[in-house]
Amino acid sequence: MTRDESLEALMTTARSEFLRYGFDGTDVNRIARRSGVAPTTFYRWFKDKTDVFIAVYRRWEARELQSMRRLMAREGSTAALVEACVAHHRTHPIFRRSVRRLGHEDARVRQALAASRLERLEALKAWIGEPRACDADLGVELLQFESLVTVLAEADLGEMGLDDTAARRQFGVLLGRWRVQPARAANDEVAEPQLSAAPA
């Protein structure tokens, strides 16, 4: 196995492990073993489990951005878009919970999350064309998007015995403000973050 092949094997296995088991349930030695490499090879590429988690997250986030652009490009009602976004955010729940938790607890993950949010902000600005709000206002909208879609995907209001109609309505209003140029998003490609060919 070449160096690049070993990296890709590690990344593929790590992605599978993190999506299935989350951060806490994933073991570095298991990633190495299931990748067909020695643990020492893992540490040539990554400092620790957090390092590989961030690398997996950055690739995953690039795909997420592309998926959201495709959802926004769909024809149909705002209510249908709300349902599609919520259904999409019900995928990979354990991984999403790990990202949210580590984004509060770990400085490196928090920094990666901030970088991803800034990339989403730039994508949103390109999507809507002429700026209709300053970056800070759009940043607030992005955070509202994250909060509302998480509440809906995790059924938090239902757990409280409450109806989620108001949350869906607010989420629809937010998506409606962004859904201004559906024709162009489906064809816009988002490049995945590339890892350096040099080990860590």
**199 pLDDT higher than 80:** no
What backbone torsions phi and psi does residue 98 show, to the nearest 5 degrees? -65, -45
Tokens of 95: 């991984």
Residue of 132, 131, 87, 138 lying closest to 117 (CA atoms) = 138
- Rounded Cα distance, 74 and 70, in Å: 7
Which range (54-58, 105-109, 127-131, 166-170) has the least confidence? 127-131
pLDDT at 131: 62
Which range (43-47, 81-85, 122-126, 192-196) has the least confidence? 192-196
pTM of the model: 0.84
The Cβ of residue 124 has, within 10 Å, a number of other Cβ atoms equal to 22
